[in-house]
Structure 1
Amino acid sequence: MERVLIADDHPLVRDGLRTVISVAFDQCELFEASSIAEAIAIVEREGDFDLVLLDLNMPDAEGFSGLAQMRDRFPSVPVVIVSGACEGGLISASIANGAAGFIPKSLKRSAIVAAIQSILAGDIFMPEEFRTIGADNVELDDIRRRVDTLTPQQRVVLGLVVGGKLNKQIAYELDVSMTTVKAHVSAILAKLNVYSRTQAVILANKINFVPAPLAARH
């Protein structure tokens, strides 16, 4: 492994990952970014990277939009989510959105190194304890019931949110105002009984949410 980009808005986290990688991978060139925009600029300027370690919650990203931007711009660069949150739904949603793996920040240093080695070998890494976790049927039925309360337009918006679209991108695609999009997102969060776009994406992915058909967008 020759080049790694650590993208996290917390300096202490970047320092910790830098220490782990520099000790385990001799001669590895490390780069750091504190935002998605900075991460994109670095990859564009420096060229190919062996790995990008990306925090899910970045200041200029919502939900999986940061991951989506990195995957769209640099499809050949493995992007690994490194997160303090460690829910089964979040992990599976990250993989579904194109992450090459999911490494919890709570892992021991040796486990982080082993995870990186596994990813470099071509595997999609996730913590072993989450590989066989299945959501309870009662929970899934409850999520489906909540999703069924959404209007056709709200289902369209939720589908775009799941796809990593930002509010301004949704407004452009649906040819509506930002105010309208924000109103839809707020209503979706209320109906799903969640507090963030990321939580909404997690619930949607748990039930393999299918967006409303294109006709509903007009």
Structure 2
Amino acid sequence: MKILVVDDHALIREGLRQVLRGLENDVDVLEAGSCARAFELAQQEPELDLVLLDYHLPDMNGLEALDVFGRQHPALPIIVLSGSVNPRVMQQVMQKGAAAFLTKSGMSDELLSVTRLVLAGGIHMPALPRIMGDEVTMAELPSSLLTPRQEEVLQLLLDGYTNKEIGRMLYLSEETVKNHVSSILRNFGVTTRTQAVLAANRHGYAGTGRPQMAPDDAS
């Protein structure tokens, strides 16, 4: 497993490296102190599994970096880290396709839990406070409605389940779930799972409220 940590403070990079070692014994943590170096490493390491990206970097902010990663490595999941909680930034980061947004003041256990979820193909939606007069603009729901099965998949997607977990819960193959997710993305006119979740929330869809599967059950 290869994870790229992008932060301009060496002490924070080292701290994240120590925490990420809790994922598994052979995790390989790469470090970059700038976005430019991060893009170089991402090109050099095609087997990269995840990026932990600081929002505030000297050469580029997190939104700009997400754009570059999205163009060059669209399948690479990214967790954005920030030292402050700004509702507008949180909304923008998730709209840009980040798999998760976490604050640096969070606990190590939370980082590991969210990292495991993202590595398994899931997304972590932060609590996004409503900003008066600055609502997120999402694609309008198209005339073609979701099928009942697609709505079931969407509801579990809203709960943060991975494709594998959704397949087990609905007795579907993982490939079938991927096809349903692709159809959901097309219906909402978006390109990422995160954008689909945000669009679904805007149009009144809600999760099932079921508890997350235990780690042993999700493997």
Q: Provide TM-score, normalisation by structure 1.
A: 0.58
Distance in 2 between residues matched to 1:90 and 1:69, nearest whole Å? 17
How far did 1:64 drift?
1.2
Provide the aligned C-alpha RMSD in A: 1.9
How far did 1:34 drift?
0.5
Distance in 1 between residues matched to 2:80 and 2:15, nearest whole Å? 15
- Higher RCO (CA-CA < 8 Å; seq separation 6+): 1
Please give the per-residue CA displacement for 1:108-159, whole angstroms capped at 9, x wherever unaligned: 01111011111122222133xx15x323xxx31xx69xxxxxxxxxxxxxxx
Residue 31 of structure 1 aligns with an amino acid whose one-letter code is: L
* Cα contact 2:62–2:93 (8 A) shared by 1: no
Q: How many residues align?
A: 136
Are 2:130 and 1:134 aligned? yes
Distance in 2 between residues matched to 1:63 and 1:33, nearest whole Å? 14
How far did 1:81 drift?
0.5
* Cα contact 2:23–2:116 (8 A) shared by 1: no
Structure 2 vs 1, CA of residues 81 and 63 (structure 1 numbering), >3 Å: closer, same or farther? closer
Please give the per-residue CA displacement for 1:35-63, whole angstroms capped at 9, x wherever unaligned: 11100111111213110000111111146
The aligned counterpart of 1:123 is: 122
The aligned counterpart of 1:10 is: 9
Distance in 2 between residues matched to 1:122 and 1:38, nearest whole Å? 26
How far did 1:100 drift?
1.1
Distance in 1 between residues matched to 2:60 and 2:130, nearest whole Å? 28
The aligned counterpart of 2:87 is: 88
Q: Provide structure 2 residue ranges, at least 5 long, that are not aligned to the other structure.
A: 136-219
How far did 1:24 drift?
3.0
Secondary structure class of the residue paired with 2:22? helix
Larger of the two Rg values belongs to structure: 1
* Cα contact 1:103–1:125 (8 A) shared by 2: no
Q: Provide structure 1 residue ranges, at least 5 long, that are not aligned to the other structure.
A: 145-218
* Cα contact 1:56–1:67 (8 A) shared by 2: no
Distance in 1 between residues matched to 2:58 and 2:46, nearest whole Å? 24
- The farther-off stretch of 107-116 and 23-32 is 23-32
Secondary structure class of the residue paired with 2:31? strand
Larger helix share, 1 or 2: 1
Secondary structure class of the residue paired with 2:42? helix
Distance in 1 between residues matched to 2:75 and 2:119, nearest whole Å? 13
Distance in 2 between residues matched to 1:37 and 1:5, nearest whole Å? 13
Identity of aligned residues (%): 31
* Cα contact 1:58–1:66 (8 A) shared by 2: no
* Cα contact 1:48–1:77 (8 A) shared by 2: no
Residue 42 of structure 2 aligns with an amino acid whose one-letter code is: V
* Cα contact 1:84–1:105 (8 A) shared by 2: yes
The aligned counterpart of 1:61 is: 60
Distance in 2 between residues matched to 1:10 and 1:37, nearest whole Å? 15
* Cα contact 2:4–2:50 (8 A) shared by 1: yes
Secondary structure class of the residue paired with 2:40? helix
